[in-house]
Amino acid sequence: MYKVLDEDSIKDYVDKTREIRSLVLQDSQSINELDVNEIGDGNLNFVYILKSKEKSIILKQAVPYLRCVGVEYPLSRIRMTFEIEALKTQKELCPSLVPDIFYSSHDMSLVVMQNLDKHKILRTEMINRVIFPLLSEHISTFLADTLFYTSDFYMDSDKKKEDVKKFINVELCKITEDFIFTHPYEENDTNEYNPKLDFKHVKKFREDTEVKAGVLEMKYKFMTNTQALLHGDLHSGSIMLNQKETYVIDPEFAFYGPIGFDVGIYLANLIMNYFSLASDEKEYGNYVLGMIKETWEKFGQKFKNNMIENEKQKKSLQFDYPNGLHDLEYFTDKFIKEIFEDTIGFASCEMLRRTVGLAKVADIAEIEDLERRARVERRVLESASLLIKSKSKIQNIDEIINMIKKQS
Amino acid sequence: MYKVLDEDSIKDYVDKTREIRSLVLQDSQSINELDVNEIGDGNLNFVYILKSKEKSIILKQAVPYLRCVGVEYPLSRIRMTFEIEALKTQKELCPSLVPDIFYSSHDMSLVVMQNLDKHKILRTEMINRVIFPLLSEHISTFLADTLFYTSDFYMDSDKKKEDVKKFINVELCKITEDFIFTHPYEENDTNEYNPKLDFKHVKKFREDTEVKAGVLEMKYKFMTNTQALLHGDLHSGSIMLNQKETYVIDPEFAFYGPIGFDVGIYLANLIMNYFSLASDEKEYGNYVLGMIKETWEKFGQKFKNNMIENEKQKKSLQFDYPNGLHDLEYFTDKFIKEIFEDTIGFASCEMLRRTVGLAKVADIAEIEDLERRARVERRVLESASLLIKSKSKIQNIDEIINMIKKQS
């Protein structure tokens, strides 16, 4: 059944697949009226724009290897099944924050969806210093709703366990385990360094007892905490947006994991953008710090609100006493405090690995002056080390913002 | 394929099943030389002793309902599949502490195993005040080895995830979620109370903010922490032993859960036996307190030892620096401290639910003087409440023993 499509064979495939054909072409139109263009910027997959005079859609197909390396790095195309299932769940929970899914095929490992041609990638936009006043409102909703409504706080015990099983995502979790939680903390051939970054700064955190224990703790949580269906790769390259709309894309890393992972990866990418700013970019810096604060605080409020409203509807016997709702609130505050600690821990790992591991963030890696880039990287390493070491003592997001400001 | 066996049809079945027949009968012997007796004390399953002149074995079959209630309480017989798989894993890891498994059939939901006719149930023996000098050594090994070698610290990431999937044990986990973590903390019809226990003591912990938050926290951990393949029901009724040997049986509740659950359930059952003792049983009391201390301390040492020895063999790059092993040890001590906190939390839940939930422990429930029983139950409730509220502050097992002594 499965075959790898290319710009030629895709027309044939679309012509035969009514559900897709009817999305872009009228019955009377010939398949030759369809323009096919491969975007060519995916690390893992092939992404095609299918365009007729009136309409355009995206077709994304997974191939059985890692695209950015080639056929010699095999990677099962089952990842598209996880992406499809996660997209469907997230679309149901946050309809306005996830692109429309028009068609999907597990056999062909492909998904057809809304073409976000009026939207741009958040990372690129942040590198261009564009401000998005609604972004933090949107992302905090995405986080609070996808993470609460796939958790045991909301789902039935049996349904949730079946979901955990369905989303056991062996291969893509292994990539995260290796490239976020292992290789960057050892002398591994896959790591890449800015030649101007003095290696003593790398060695310092790599042989720091507390950093090491913190990273292991976060890796273990990543591997053992089935709290909610995560996006699994929520950096600023997985978000497309404009001034009005925000879309979260590419959830092929989805699995049941610790809530703080999604929140932490996202915040880490904001923090790294902040560190990448030049000294005369204070205004954008304040905007980024504001995003960090707003995202965390609104996420916390919305998650708590979901918890309380859900309990009010369920009216479980367990809280059926005068102070019951207060006690649930007390528990929720404690729980969110734990998520906060996890968020700091995961954010630190993301910051460390994006500096000394294989994958870099363009915000920093594209700084042309390697000496200045090294200074930025030192600040990232210092902050991440400090954050992971003090995560249990940090009381609120303002303390983090003050730490970051002091570093810069 | 599946059919429910009884004392008559079982002979037919054994006669036809060579692998079982040959365990107890020689080819020349007639099936009529086989004695079949149903033990009749299982809550969930039917357990038969098959006995010839020379040999005897146990055949245990799951029926598609809860035996102790009847056909009106359906319970999928898939639980035997979990029991078989867990027995096999545990037997491999702790050969001397798990009965021999001779034959198993998922289709027939049955397992054939060693007849432990020279061994008795630990709970009964503790009610008879029998001392077992080797028990804590054995159980601490069972805990440290089954829990370490099924965890991410030892297993390959992919194999462990497949195991998590295989052991998603929806129905039996739900029983625990309901009867250990929910009903006892609310006014639920399934709860049963000693009529002489003043209800104000029940109401007190049920409306205590910290107890409530603690119980919810433990329930959530039970539902989301896939740390290791647990036994899942390790109370003193799941252990058969004599002065030389100890066997752990009945792992149908097995699933990937938090390590502290197995340890906590076991310790709670020791603590409850301690509270059940009369004032003139000081000697046995000191023995029980000694068991609590020895079990925890040896578990901790053995788990740590497994961690360090495993790392020495693997020699991962991550600890390949002068202070590497020290840093792993530092992490391990922190990790075991967390397991200790979980252990206290789960032990508290077990103590509370065994007092005001549906299932009781015979050590206390068989105290004939209901007034004295109520005094014991009050001490159990008070200690459990205190333990769960102070679990993050307790530094070592001696503090717990002192708290228990003070209560009694």
Task: With cut-offs at 50, 70 and 90, classify the pLDDT of residue B72.
Answer: confident
Residue B20 has a pLDDT of 97
CATH number assigned to the domain covering A9-114: 3.30.200.20
Residue B407 has a pLDDT of 84
pLDDT at B147 over 90: yes
Residue A390 has a pLDDT of 97
- Altogether, the residues listed in chain B come to a count of 408
Two tokens, residue A223:
């591997």
Q: Which residues of B342-371 are buried (b: 16+ CB within 10 A; e: fewer)?
A: bbbbbbbbbbbbbbbbeebbbbbbebeeee
- A223 to chain B: which residues are within 8 Å by CB? 152, 157, 160
- The tens digit of pLDDT for each residue in A383-394 reads 999 999 999 999
pLDDT at B315 over 80: yes
Q: Is B158 near chain A, with CB under 8 Å?
A: yes
CATH number assigned to the domain covering B120-407: 3.90.1200.10
Interface contact B330-A209, CB threshold 8 A: yes
Chain-centroid distance of CA A19 in Å reads: 30
Q: Is A164 near chain B, with CB under 8 Å?
A: yes
Question: Chain B closest CA to A282's CA: distance in Å?
Answer: 38
Give percent above pLDDT 70 in chain B. 100
**Which has the closest alpha carbon to A132: A367, A344, A294, A261?**
A294
Residues contacting A256, CB < 8 A, separation 6+: A150, A163, A164, A167, A226, A227, A228, A229, A230
Q: Domain coordinates of chain B in residue numbers?
A: 9-114, 120-407
Task: With cut-offs at 50, 70 and 90, classify the pLDDT of residue A119.
Answer: very high
Indicate whether this complex's ipTM tops 0.90.
yes
Residue A147 has a pLDDT of 98
Q: Is B69 near chain A, with CB under 8 Å?
A: no
- Altogether, the residues listed in chain A come to a count of 408
- The tens digit of pLDDT for each residue in B167-224 reads 999 999 999 999 999 999 999 999 999 999 999 999 999 999 999 999 999 999 999 9
Q: How far apart are CA B232 and CA B346, in angstroms?
A: 12
**Locus of tokens 């029980």:** B288
Residue A220 has a pLDDT of 98
Lowest mean pLDDT across A33-42, A94-103, A230-239, B338-347: A33-42
Q: Is A320 near chain B, with CB under 8 Å?
A: yes
Residue A73 has a pLDDT of 85
- A227 to chain B: which residues are within 8 Å by CB? 224
Q: How far apart are CA A194 and CA A359, in angstroms?
A: 12
- The phi, psi pair for B118, rounded to 5°, reads -105, 15
Nearest to B220 among A152, A158, A209 (CB): A152
pTM of the model: 0.97
Interface contact B157-A165, CB threshold 8 A: no
Give percent above pLDDT 70 in chain A. 100
- The tens digit of pLDDT for each residue in B7-27 reads 889 999 999 999 999 999 999
Q: Is B224 near chain A, with CB under 8 Å?
A: yes
Two tokens, residue B202:
């029940």
- The tens digit of pLDDT for each residue in A322-358 reads 999 999 999 999 999 999 999 999 999 999 999 999 9
pLDDT at B43 over 80: no
Question: Chain A closest CA to B347's CA: distance in Å?
Answer: 20
Two tokens, residue A333:
């505050």
Q: Is A220 near chain B, with CB under 8 Å?
A: yes
Residue A183 has a pLDDT of 97
Q: What is the mean pLDDT of chain A?
A: 96
End-to-end CA distance of chain A: 55
pLDDT at A43 over 90: no
pLDDT at A40 over 80: no
Q: Is A333 near chain B, with CB under 8 Å?
A: no
pLDDT at A69 over 90: no
Residue A106 has a pLDDT of 96
Interface contact B316-A162, CB threshold 8 A: no
Q: What is the mean pLDDT of chain B?
A: 96
pLDDT at B42 over 80: no
pLDDT at A80 over 90: yes
CA distances from A204 to A15, A211, A244, B330, B332 (A): 59, 10, 44, 17, 21
Task: With cut-offs at 50, 70 and 90, classify the pLDDT of residue A109.
Answer: very high
pLDDT at A60 over 80: yes
Task: With cut-offs at 50, 70 and 90, classify the pLDDT of residue A258.
Answer: very high
Q: Is B200 near chain A, with CB under 8 Å?
A: no
- B225 to chain A: which residues are within 8 Å by CB? 224-226
Task: With cut-offs at 50, 70 and 90, classify the pLDDT of residue A401.
Answer: very high
Residue B71 has a pLDDT of 87
- The tens digit of pLDDT for each residue in A303-325 reads 999 999 999 999 899 999 999 99
pLDDT at A154 over 90: yes
Nearest CA in chain A to B331: A213
Interface contact B330-A157, CB threshold 8 A: no
Q: How far apart are CA B264 and CA B328, in angstroms?
A: 25
